[in-house]
Amino acid sequence: MQTIQSVNEMQSHAIGLRSSGRLIGLVPTMGCLHEGHLSLIDIAKEKADKVIVSIFVNPTQFGPSEDYDKYPRMLDADIEKCRARGADIVFNPSVEDMYPQGYSTYVNEERISAGLCGVSRPHHFRGVTTVCMKLFNITRPDIAVFGQKDAQQCAVIKKMVADLNIPAEIVIGETQRDADGMATSSRNAYLTEVQRSEASNISKSLLMAKDMVANGTRSVDRIVAEVTHHLLLSRRIRVIYVQVVDRETMVPAREIIPGEQLLCVAAWAEQTRLIDNIKL
Ligand code: PAF
């Protein structure tokens, strides 16, 4: 497995791979790799000849009061995990190479980005689309694999790819969960044992909602109220939003259509912002 830091080197290598007919699979990450990321490498390996994992903590997707500085960075361990899982290249550029002084160009998806996390993180998706566009231009993927845990991010990236005619297929991997039901996430590393046990109520509340739908509930209000109530029973949890949305457009639903919508939750477990979702 190769590691490449330089943007120019990565780009010329990718162009070479493509011109020799190889299918490139990209797994974009910010590192601190867990089973959720590693399962995306498995998907990329099934669909592509060469798998590139990018590891870049992207400053433009963090707000000024967010956790950019303390975001967990463990490059050596991440490189080992990529090697063990069979990736071909780890691309880990520097901030200076990705955003040289004077950098001033951004990609903005304006509709899907606006709701849910876009309300409390107003520049987040602009940072995500910008860095993904750059990563696509640098690594030239035929397919790029993202995780369903970040459902809104998946919808925004798919829209950007469609709107800007980017010649890459976006593949979405299932959310991976730990034994207590928590969606795997790099930010889980911030949680104490007590916070984690309360945070696991987020996934429990999603399952509760899915059961309600399976048992015939069709009222969005009813689902949102029950899930919010369930979450408020945990002392350390503060709800940011509980919403039922269309899974492509992220438009809030009026009534439940089984199989078509996602229940999305964002909450603080004390200082840690967590998100999760489930298909209803
Ligand atoms: O999901 C993430 O880890 C990031 O948002 C991504 C897609 C790697 C862009 O920085």
What structural domains and CATH numbers belong to the chain? 2-173 (3.40.50.620), 186-279 (3.30.1300.10)
**CB of 144 closer than 6 angstroms to any ligand 1 atom:** no
Contacts of 205 (CB under 8 A, 6+ apart): 226, 227, 230, 231, 265
Mean pLDDT of the chain: 97
**CB of 131 closer than 6 angstroms to any ligand 1 atom:** yes
- Structure letter (DSSP) for residue 49: S
173 is in an annotated binding site: no
Is pTM, for the whole model, over 0.95?
A: yes
**CB of 61 closer than 6 angstroms to any ligand 1 atom:** yes
Q: Which of ligand 1's atoms lies nearest the C-alpha of 147?
A: 1
pLDDT of residue 22: 98
Residue with CA closest to ligand 1 atom 3: 29
DSSP H helices, the chain, are 7-19, 35-47, 75-85, 95-98, 117-120, 124-139, 151-163, 193-214, 220-232
Residue with CA closest to ligand 1 atom 1: 29
Measured CA distances, 214 to 196, 207, 224, 237, 258 (Å): 28, 10, 15, 26, 8
CA 222 / ligand 1 centre spacing (Å): 33
pLDDT of residue 14: 98
Q: Enumerate the active-site residues.
A: 37
197 is in an annotated binding site: no
The pair of three-digit structure tokens given for residue 262, joined into one six-digit string: 């996602």
**Pocket-testing residue among 61, 71, 136, 186, ligand 1, by greatest number of atoms within 8 A of Cβ:** 61
Q: How many residues are listed for the chain in this entry?
A: 280
**CB of 151 closer than 6 angstroms to any ligand 1 atom:** no
CA 218 / ligand 1 centre spacing (Å): 33
**CB of 28 closer than 6 angstroms to any ligand 1 atom:** yes
Residue with CA closest to ligand 1 atom 6: 29
CA 183 / ligand 1 centre spacing (Å): 16
pLDDT of residue 135: 99
**CB of 152 closer than 6 angstroms to any ligand 1 atom:** no
CA 127 / ligand 1 centre spacing (Å): 9
pLDDT digits (tens, 9 = 90+) for 115-131: 999 999 999 999 999 99
**Pocket-testing residue among 98, 99, 153, 158, ligand 1, by greatest number of atoms within 8 A of Cβ:** 153
**CB of 150 closer than 6 angstroms to any ligand 1 atom:** yes
pLDDT of residue 183: 98
CB 209 within 8 A of CB 226: yes
pLDDT of residue 108: 98
In the predicted model, residues of the chain with pLDDT beneath 70 are none
Residue 172: closest CA among 154, 184, 157, 156: 154
